[in-house]
Amino acid sequence: METELRLESSLWVGNKRYRAVLSGWHFNWTEVDKKNRDKKTISVPVAEVVGVEEGRVEILPRKSVEDTDKDFTVFYVKRSSSGSSYGLLWRLGRIQFSCPSRVLRDQWTKHLRTALKTHSPLRPNRLLVFINPFGGKKKGRKIYHSLVAPLFELAGISSHVIVTERANQARDHLLKKDLKGFDGVVCVGGDGMFSEILHGLIGRTQQEAGLSENDPTVALQPCPLHIGIIPAGSTDCVCYATVGVIDPVTSALHIIIGDSQPLDVCSVHQASALMRYSVSLLGYGFYGDVLAESEKHRWMGPLRYDYSGTMVYLSNRSYAGIVQYLPADPLLSSPRDRTRCLSGCSVCSRTTERLFPHSSVYTSCLSFCAFPGEWVSVEGRFRCVSLTCMSSSCPKSPLGLSPSAHLADGTGDLILVWDTHPLGFLKFLYRHTSTQDQFDLPFVEVHRVKRVPAKSVWNCDGEILSSTEILCRIHGQLVRLYARGIEEGAAVHNCGKENDKCQMGCTLIK
C-alpha cells in the first residue's frame, strides 16, 4: 500500500488567509475570513497540477522568478467552456502562496511534487516534436513556439523539435531513427501529419516485434509511445474527436499531465498487402472524390474542402459496388443508440478490460463475448461508403460522421448511403452540421463492424475507372494519445446524474 500523503496548513495568498489541504487525489485551498469562516474552495485533482515552483513565478509575457524563501507557485489546469465546441477549453491557472516559514514551504513543494509523480505516472519527460510548417493556415511553427514550448518548459519537459522539410519525413524518422529516451511523439499539424506519425509508430512497433503489417489476420502490437496532437491543420478531426476542442493550449496541457486515450485503428489491405491505416474517415464515392479534388486546390488552405465538396456534389455521381461486413456484437453498443463516447466512457473501458485483462484497474472481470457473427453482403449503387473508427467530429460537423461511435471499443461504423436524388443527398450532408440524425433517412444505413471487404467497381458517370478490392480490419486500441476523450460542460446523462457523479461515461445527445 502506498502511504497516504496528507498535508494541511494555513497559507497566505496576498493579504488573504487560506486553508490549504493536500490529501489523496486532491489539492484544495479555501479562503478563511477574519471570523474563521470558510469561503469558496478551489479543488484541483493532483493529476491536473501542471507544476510547482519555489518563489513567485510568472510565465507571461516571459518567465520570471522572484526568489523569496517563503513563497511557492502552483500551476494547474483551469477549465472554461468553449463557445462553439462541445468540449471544454483548458487554460493554465496560477496561484502564489506565502508560508509562515521556509521549512513549511519546502514541505509543501516536496509533498506536491511527490503526489504529482504518484498520481500521474504517464507524464512525459522527453518528447519528440514534428512540426509541419505547411499544414492548415501555415501557422504550425508559430503555434508551437509561442503557445506550447513555454508550457513544456514550465513543466520541465525537454523536447527535440524537427520542422519537416518534406512529406513523409516524420514517418521515415519514426521508422528508422533511434527513439530511445522519448516518452512520446508530438505532431504539430493536421490529420495528414497525424497519419504520418501513426504509420511511423505502428510500423516501427511491428518491426521490433517481428510482426508482418501485411497480414490482415495478425494481431498487431500496440505502440509503446504516446502521441500528442497540437492542432494546426485544416480539419483536425482526430484532435477534435479526442479532446473536444481545437485549441493548442488545451492539447499541450493534456500532453503535460500525461493523459492517456487509447484509439482504434483500421488497417486497409489490398490483396492482403497493407495499403494504409485509418482512424477517421475511410471513404469511397463522395468523400474519396472530395479528397482527390481538394488536392488540386491545396493553395486555398482549409477552404479547399468546401470548394471541392460543392464541385463534387454538383457532379452528382454514384457508384456501383459490393460491400461485405462482419457485424460487431449488437449487445455491447449500436451506432444508433444515441449515446456519446465521452471521457471515461464505459463501453471503451469494458473493451480495455477485454483486450488487456491484466493491466486494467477494473476489478470485475467481464468475460470476453466471443461473438462469432456472420458476414453480411450488400450490393447496389451508392452515393458514398464510409468507414470510421471514431465519431470523426470536427468544427464543420460537431457531432461527426457517426455521433455514437467510440474511440476505443475495437469497432468501426460503416455508413452506406444508397443512390438517391440530389436533394436527398444534400439533406444527408447538411444534417452533419446540426444535431439532426443523418441516419434517419430511408437511403442511409449504418452498421457497427469489425471487418469490411469491399469489392467495388468504381463507376464514374457510367464509365468504369478502376477496380479495387480492399479488406479492412479494426485493431482495438492500437495507439494511445495524450488526451482523455471529450469532457462535456453540462449534459443529460443516461443514469440521470450530474456530470461529475456519472458512473456510466456515456451521455445522451442533447
Ligand X SMILES: Nc1ncnc2c1ncn2[C@@H]1O[C@H](COP(=O)(O)OP(=O)(O)O)[C@@H](O)[C@H]1O
Ligand Y SMILES: CCCCCCCCCCCCC/C=C/[C@@H](O)[C@H](COP(=O)(O)O)NC(=O)CCCCCCCCCCCCCCC
Choose among ligand X, Ca ion, ligand Y, none what residue 398 binds, the Cβ cut-off being 5 to 8 Å by kind. Answer: none
By CB under 6 A, name the one of 20, 22, 230, 290 that touches ligand Y: 290
Inter-CA distances, 203 with 208, 213, 347, 355, Å: 9, 7, 28, 20
Residue 406 contacts residue 347 (beta carbons within 8 Å): yes
By CB under 6 A, name the one of 212, 433, 435, 503 that touches ligand Y: 433
Under the criterion CB under 6 A, does residue 192 sit at the interface with ligand Y? yes
Task: Name the helix (H) or strand (E) containing 312.
Answer: helix 304-315
Under the criterion CB under 6 A, does residue 164 sit at the interface with ligand Y? no
Round to whole Å and give the CA distance between 4 and 349: 27
By CB under 6 A, name the one of 392, 402, 477, 507 that touches ligand Y: 392
Q: Which of 386, 390, 410, 387 is nearest to 399 (CA)?
A: 390
Residue 73 contacts residue 52 (beta carbons within 8 Å): yes
Choose among ligand Y, ligand X, Ca ion, none what residue 35 binds, the Cβ cut-off being 5 to 8 Å by kind. Answer: none
Residue 332 contacts residue 350 (beta carbons within 8 Å): yes
- Cβ proximity to ligand X: between 166 and 358 the closer is 166
Four-CA torsion 492, 494, 495, 499, nearest 10 degrees: -40
Say whether 409 is catalytic.
no
Q: Shortest Cβ distance from residue 290 to ligand X (Å)?
A: 13
> 140-176 burial, b if ≥16 CB within 10 A, otherwise e?
beebbeeebbbbbebbebebebeebeeeebbbebbbe
How many residues in the chain?
510
Round to whole Å and give the CA distance between 283 and 472: 12
Choose among ligand X, ligand Y, Ca ion, none what residue 166 binds, the Cβ cut-off being 5 to 8 Å by kind. Answer: ligand X
DSSP string, 399-422: T-SSTT--SSSS-EEEEEEE---H
By CB under 6 A, name the one of 249, 291, 332, 457 that touches ligand Y: 291
By CB under 6 A, name the one of 33, 67, 295, 306 that touches ligand Y: 306
Four-CA torsion 201, 205, 210, 212, nearest 10 degrees: -40
Round to whole Å and give the CA distance between 131 and 112: 33
- Cβ proximity to ligand Y: between 96 and 242 the closer is 242
Q: Which stretch binds ligand Y (CB under 6 A): 61-69, 91-99, 234-242, 344-352?
A: 234-242
Choose among Ca ion, ligand Y, ligand X, none what residue 264 binds, the Cβ cut-off being 5 to 8 Å by kind. Answer: Ca ion
Q: Shortest Cβ distance from residue 304 to ligand X (Å)?
A: 9
Q: Shortest Cβ distance from residue 414 to ligand Y (Å)?
A: 15
Looking at the DSSP bridge assignments, the partners of residue 161 are: 129
- Cβ proximity to ligand X: between 136 and 285 the closer is 136
Choose among ligand X, ligand Y, Ca ion, none what residue 401 binds, the Cβ cut-off being 5 to 8 Å by kind. Answer: ligand Y
Residue 471 contacts residue 278 (beta carbons within 8 Å): no
- Cβ proximity to ligand X: between 190 and 400 the closer is 190
Inter-CA distances, 451 with 98, 470, 476, 495, Å: 59, 11, 12, 32
Choose among Ca ion, ligand Y, ligand X, none what residue 280 binds, the Cβ cut-off being 5 to 8 Å by kind. Answer: ligand Y
Choose among ligand X, Ca ion, ligand Y, none what residue 389 binds, the Cβ cut-off being 5 to 8 Å by kind. Answer: Ca ion
Contacts of 500 (CB under 8 A, 6+ apart): none
Q: Catalytic pick from 71, 183, 191, 413? A: 191
Among all residues, whose Cβ is closest to ligand X? 190
- Cβ proximity to Ca ion: between 132 and 404 the closer is 404
Binding positions for ligand X, rule: CB under 6 A: 132-136, 164-168, 189-193, 196, 233-235
By CB under 6 A, name the one of 53, 183, 236, 413 that touches ligand Y: 236
By CB under 6 A, name the one of 280, 352, 404, 420 that touches ligand Y: 280
Task: Supply the DSSP symbol for 502.
Answer: -
Round to whole Å and give the CA distance between 256 and 91: 12
Q: Does residue 230 sit in helix, strand or coil? A: strand
Q: Are strands 126-131 and 158-163 parallel, antiparallel or unpaired?
A: parallel
Choose among Ca ion, ligand X, ligand Y, none what residue 406 binds, the Cβ cut-off being 5 to 8 Å by kind. Answer: Ca ion
Under the criterion CB under 6 A, does residue 281 sit at the interface with ligand Y? yes
- Cβ proximity to ligand X: between 54 and 196 the closer is 196
By CB under 6 A, name the one of 29, 86, 97, 305 that touches ligand Y: 305
Round to whole Å and give the CA distance between 467 and 458: 6
Looking at the DSSP bridge assignments, the partners of residue 455 are: 322, 469
- Cβ proximity to ligand X: between 4 and 165 the closer is 165
Q: Shortest Cβ distance from residue 191 to ligand X (Å)?
A: 5
- Cβ proximity to ligand X: between 155 and 193 the closer is 193
Q: Shortest Cβ distance from residue 450 to Ca ion (Å)?
A: 10
Choose among Ca ion, ligand X, ligand Y, none what residue 432 binds, the Cβ cut-off being 5 to 8 Å by kind. Answer: ligand Y
Under the criterion CB under 6 A, does residue 140 sit at the interface with ligand Y? no
Under the criterion CB under 6 A, does residue 32 sit at the interface with ligand Y? no
Positions marked catalytic: 191
Summarize as ranges the residues that interact with ligand Y (CB under 6 A): 190-192, 233-237, 280-281, 290-291, 305-306, 309-310, 313, 392, 394, 396-397, 401, 426, 429-430, 432-433
